[in-house]
Structure 1
Amino acid sequence: MSVEQPVSVRPAPFSGPGGYWGRLLPVLLLLAAVTRLPSFVHPLWNPDEGFLAVQARQLAAGGVLYDTVVDRKPPFVPWLYEGVFAVFGDGSLVPVKILAILALFATAGLLASLARRRWGDRSGVVAGVGFLLISVGLHPEDTQAAGFGLFMLPFTALAVWCADRRAWTWAGVAVAGAFLTKQTGGAVLVPVVWLAWTTASGARGRALLRIVAGFAVPVAATALITGPSGFLFWVVTGSGSYADLTGSGLHALGRGFGNALILAGACLGLLIPLVRRLRAPGADLWLWLAASAVAVMTGFHFFGHYYLQLMPPLALLGTAALHALPRRWTPAALTLTACTCAAFLTWGFLAPRPELAHAQRVAEAVRARTAPTDRVLIWGMHPETYWLADRTPASRYLTAGLLTNFSGGRTGSQVGEEYGVEGSWPLLRTELAQHRPAVIVDDSRGKPYAPDRMPTLRQVLAADYVRAATIDGTVIYVRAPAKDVGAPAKDVRPPDVDVRPPGKP
């Protein structure tokens, strides 16, 4: 009588005590924290973080979103900053940076779950780890900032995760979350609808209706909370001139091509297997990548942080390709991806931040010339100066871009008072008359929005202000002494001007 010998089975990755998730999730959390370490080197990384920090302070002081607090972005991240500041104080972005770690961790966990469900335990590890390794694969200002693009990622991953499990209503809610974080996050609706369409024909209609309902209810509720007209204008319809790159197309396309090359270098360990297996399974994943690519191109600015939303579908497609290839490909791919990750982390630690240093010097000069209760106007593209100086903005328009249509992706064409947000200049005149700034900072430094090209601002400076200092090309103006003493604020608003905020009936 023979005795059957036990079959030797190679253990699955992360099997053993604690189970699959008990062992994988701590690794993903640790890796997410490591990839975000450079974010703690500086108080903030880019103007978006500064914009959000100032917005949060305005909201906490009684400001109204899309009325006295404005930006061309949905409300979720400003509300997030406001909530964090309410709990931890508004003097540091460290708590927000920790939330950014958790956002990356959540995204990695959802991608790992998707990959494990489709291709097995090992693929779950590859997807989660691979995503975190490529998450630093752009300029540090784009990957280390706790901005809109980063906080959008867990919602996009959750939307596909829910659709993969046929939880259609929750998939729609997750799409709404992505859209309410950043408009282009709504692109994830494409793979979600595709997955619904591939269900049995009898259930297809119900699935689509549930997705629509799950999306529509949170968006409609948010519009009602913030005011439908203001929400529609600032989130949907008010960015037409911003998306027009007349005369600046080559400049933007060059940046777009450069950022695409940087991301491709960071993802090389996953792209090589994907090219080897272009027929990797998952039509929904290819649609997710294609829709995200269209979202990156929307607006024709091609800023680096736009490319963040390409990373989740790239991680899953690379995982699918590795699953279809011989097993020896996986350690080689992850090793190469880890090496590129280390290079980008080194870049993050060593990258100079001249604009931050400049903003800090200007903020120090503003603090020295103002009292804590004074209002100031920073005429430039660095709203973080308000936050660094701990001074209240004199206007709801925190950058010259909203008033002139200037952005980092634009040359001198289509820039001026006539190209600003509709109704913004009459409102600015009213604000400056009601709350005359103690200091006006001209931070244009030769850019096309310099005050000598803006008649209204040039008039205000000539009538009430004198030059007090120059810091690296930035000119600081203070109120003229003779007009500070007992003189009423001059109302520079022309008569019979409609000064309702844009989007207000």
Structure 2
Amino acid sequence: MATRAISGIKARPATGSSLARWWPFALIALLVLALRLPTFGNPLLDLDEQFYLLAGDRLLHGQLPYVDLWDRKPVGLFLLYAAIRLLGGAGIVQYQLVATGFVIVTAWLIRAMARRHAGEGAAILGAVGYVLALNILHGAGGQTAVFYNAFTAYAAWCAFRANDATSSRAVLRLALGAMVALGLAIQIKYTVVAEGAFLGCWFLWRLVAVGARPGRLVVMAAAMLAVALLPTALALAWYAAIGHLVEFVFANFVSIFHRHAFPAAFHHQQLAEVAACGGGLLAAALIGLVRLRQAMPIAAWADWALLAGWLASALCGFAMLGDVFSCYALPVALPAALAGAWALRGGRWGFVAGCLMLGWPLLFMPASYFVARQSAGATDRMVGSLAPYVSGHCLYVYDGPSILYLRTSACAPTRFLFPHHLVNAAEADALGVDPVAEERRILASRPGAIVTASRAVDPVVAEGPRALVQAALAHDYVLVDRVPTIDRTFLIWARRDLRAERAQARR
């Protein structure tokens, strides 16, 4: 509202428009915080993000990903977690708060895109549907997609804005902004390339639609591709400069092709779990696509085609790795939530879509969502049991929480700090080393303590490494604690001579 003077005194600017602009953001932020608050402080929330936090911490202490600690995720993910470690504290609540900030941004962008064809209420409900989907698809903490979905959402927002643009300059500006975001997303997880490829093609189509000449179109396409690949190219160049290009290329691009497939029964079980958890949101999305196409004027068909193509590309990214884990479906939840918001147009089908998107997740809320205090207590107990035996000696987590390396500040006898690389038989030929030889080398270093689990979470356990560990435990180690958690019991083993020394010292 314009400011005007009365009786020579300038009136204050009205704040109504500002309040109208910011209350939806404040509401979304509060809802996101409320929905994720029960998980704060849970160090065992997810296997993956424990390792990401550990890797970020080790990176700050001079250890290089792929060289001193092994994984196949992009280095950008570990740099992100290293930045989080700079916030101080134990790192658990810190990474969960940062992840929540990314979720707030993603939810806000869903609301902004949904407002193109939905009212404020439906747009906010679509954002809430996305947050609920995260909670049931192992995205309640700091999974990779929790972070990179914010960048993908921004790129998609730019694509929708490009549908309104009338000049090649405006489209190119939006395209380059989207490619910057997608380049950062790729450095968190490479499967974003599926969505990136689709959105890149969409921007090229928009450039053609606004009259870009063929010669200029080639230059624009090259610029977009260069911007999107720049972060990865910089990472590759840096590893080449320090003499570790081979390790970088193998871990990031080659190793995935050497993994073995999981057993068909496990694959089908995982697929059924993902379908059950995400089926409600996906059904709401399909309703939204159908209703939007029926109600949309012909002139606005581009929005429908963009959303349908984006959802299809996200499904391609989900299927890209072959394995089926719930967290792999998190990128699909992003366009699905937007389509679900567009389904909430009143009437019977709008009500059905609302129930599917908002009520369905409540049926599949994981038990880990409610046990932050118990998990923190179990972790503290494990740290206390390990402490006497890893002071001056290394810790080896054969099968257990990798966060124990961080919490105990213990050295590790291997660069495979994510336990499931050596436990999982599917990884046997994808590590660049012989798992049996690596296990033999680890045990020969005589770790002060070893952590195992009452049952493996991997569908097929590598028998060679397991047999070596069992033999070493029987001969050289003694069980000092059993710590139950929500899904498994973790066994704490101390080296027999260290245990005897500790018993002698107590006398």
TM-score of Structure 1 vs Structure 2, range by shorter chain: 0.7 to 0.9
SS at structure 1 position matched to 2:480: strand
What CA distance in whole angstroms lies between the structure 1 residues aligned with 2:498 and 2:481? 22
In structure 2, the CA distance between the partners of 1:114 and 1:269, relative to structure 1 (3 Å rule), is closer
Find the counterpart in structure 1 of residue 45 from structure 2: 45
Instruction: Give the corresponding residue for 2:132.
Output: 136
Q: 1:357 to 1:327 in 2, by over 3 A?
A: same
Which of 143, 146, 156 is matched with 1:147 structurally?
Answer: 143
Instruction: For residues 398-449 of structure 1, give each alpha carbon's deviation from its aligned partner in whole angstroms, at most 9, with x where no partner exists.
Output: 134222544xxxxxxx57xx5451125456655666x642112333646754
Q: Which residue of 2 aligns with 1:437?
A: 447
Question: CA offset at residue 84 of structure 1?
Answer: 1.8
CA distance in 2, matches of 1:45, 1:332: 32
Indicate yes or no: 2:226 matched with 1:213: yes
TM-score (norm 2): 0.77
1:476 & 1:420 partners in 2: Cα distance?
Answer: 29
1:190 aligns to 2:201 (yes or no): no
Over 3 Å counting, the alpha-carbon distance change for 1:420 and 1:263 in structure 2 is same
1:36–1:337 CA distance, 2 compared to 1 (3 A): same
**Which deviates further from its counterpart, 356-365 or 306-315?**
356-365
Which string of whole-angstrom CA distances, capped at 9 and with x for unpartnered residues, describes residues 372-406 of structure 1?
x4311011153133334443322211134222544
Counterpart amino acid of 2:99? Answer: A
Give 1:156's aligned residue: 152
Pair 1:297-2:319 in alignment: yes
The residue type equivalent to 1:51 in the other structure is F
Residue 403 of structure 2 aligns with an amino acid whose one-letter code is: E
Tell me which of 389, 398, 401 is aligned to 1:369: 389
Task: State the match for 2:258 in structure 1.
Answer: 241
Within-5 A mapping of 1:490-501: none
Segment of structure 1 superposing worse, 150-159 or 296-305? 296-305
Secondary structure in 2 aligned to 1:442?
strand
Query: How much does 1:256 deviate?
Result: 1.3
Against the structure 1 CA distance between its residues 389 and 450, is the aligned structure 2 distance closer, same or farther, given a 3 Å change threshold? farther
Gaps of 5+ in 1: 1-14, 407-413, 486-505
Structure 1 counterpart of 2:142, which letter?
Answer: A
Q: Which residue pairs with 1:422 in the alignment?
A: 432
Tell me if 1:466 matches 2:477: yes
CA–CA distance in structure 2, aligned partners of residues 452 and 221 of structure 1: 39
User: Which residue identity lines up with residue 404 of structure 2 in the other structure?
Assistant: T
Which deviates more, 164-173 or 132-141? Answer: 132-141
Residues 18-417 of structure 1 aligned to structure 2 (within 5 Å): 18=18, 20-40=20-40, 42-89=42-89, 91-116=90-115, 118-119=116-117, 122-123=118-119, 126-137=122-133, 140=136, 142-164=138-160, 165=162, 166=171, 167-198=174-205, 199-200=207-208, 202=213, 204-226=217-239, 227-242=244-259, 244-245=260-261, 248-266=263-281, 270-276=285-291, 281=301, 282-322=304-344, 333-334=353-354, 337-340=357-360, 349-350=369-370, 361-371=381-391, 373-406=392-425, 414=426
CA distance in 1: counterparts of 2:396 and 2:57, whole angstroms: 16
Verify the 8 A CA contact 1:134 1:341 in the aligned structure 2: no
Partner AA of 1:241 in structure 2: H
Question: What is the CA–CA distance in structure 2 between the aligned matches of 1:346 and 1:296, rounded to whole Å?
Answer: 21
1:123-178 per-residue CA deviation (whole Å, 9 max, x = no partner) reads 46634541332322266470212121211110111222233432222222222111
Give 2:405's aligned amino acid. Y
* Aligned-residue offset at 1:100: 1.4
**Is the contact between residue 170 and residue 214 of structure 1 (CA under 8 Å) also seen in structure 2?**
no
Change (3 A) 1:76 1:140: same
Shift of 1:329: 6.3
What is the CA deviation profile of residues 13-68 of structure 1, one whole-angstrom value per residue up to 9, with x for unaligned ones? xx953165323221221222122122216234011121122212222222112110
Bigger RCO (CA 8 Å, 6+ sep): 2
Q: CA, structure 1 residues 206+108, in 2 after alignment: closer, same or farther (shift >3 Å)? A: farther
Q: Which residue of 1 aligns with 2:495?
A: 479
- One-letter amino acid of the counterpart of residue 182, structure 1: K
Secondary structure in 1 matching 2:86: helix
| Residues 428 and 108 of structure 1, relative CA distance in 2, 3 Å threshold | same
Q: Could you tell me which amino acid in structure 2 is paired with residue 391 of structure 1? A: A
Superposition deviation, residue 263 in structure 1: 1.2
- Alpha-carbon distance change, 239 to 332 in structure 1, aligned in 2, over 3 angstroms: closer
Over the matched positions of the two proteins, sequence identity in percent amounts to 22
Q: How far apart, CA to CA, are the structure 2 residues paired with 1:181 and 1:46? A: 17
- SS state of the match for residue 239, structure 1? helix
What's the offset of the Cα at 1:205?
A: 2.6
Answer yes or no: is the 8 Å Cα contact 1:386–1:392 preserved in 2: yes
Q: Please give the root-mean-square deviation of Cα atoms over the aligned residues, in Å.
A: 3.6
Q: Letter of the 1:133 partner, please give it.
A: G
Distance 1:229 1:126 in 2: 50
The separation in 1 between residues aligned to 2:66 and 2:252, in whole angstroms, is 9
Distance 1:401 1:337, change over 3 A: closer
Please tell me whether the aligned partners of residues 288 and 342 of structure 2 are also in contact (alpha carbons under 8 angstroms).
no
TM-score (normalizing by structure 1): 0.77
CA separation of 1:141 and 1:172: change in aligned 2, threshold 3 A: closer
Distance 1:456 1:267 in 2: 45
Shift in CA distance, 265/49, structure 1 to aligned 2, threshold 3 Å: same
Q: Which runs of 5+ in 2 are unaligned?
A: 1-14, 163-170, 502-507
Aligned to 2:11: none
**Taking structure 1 as reference, are residues 48 and 231 closer, same or farther at Cα in structure 2, changes over 3 Å only?**
same
Preserved CA contact (<8 Å) 1:264 1:271: no
Structure number having the greater helix percentage: 2
Deviation at 1:180, TM superposition (A): 0.9
One-letter identity of the residue aligned with 1:304 = S
Opposite residue 234 of structure 2, the aligned amino acid is A
Query: Does the 8 Å contact 2:311/2:336 carry over to 1?
Result: yes
Range moving further from structure 2, 268-277 or 281-290: 268-277
Give the 3-state SS of the residue equivalent to 1:423 in structure 2: coil
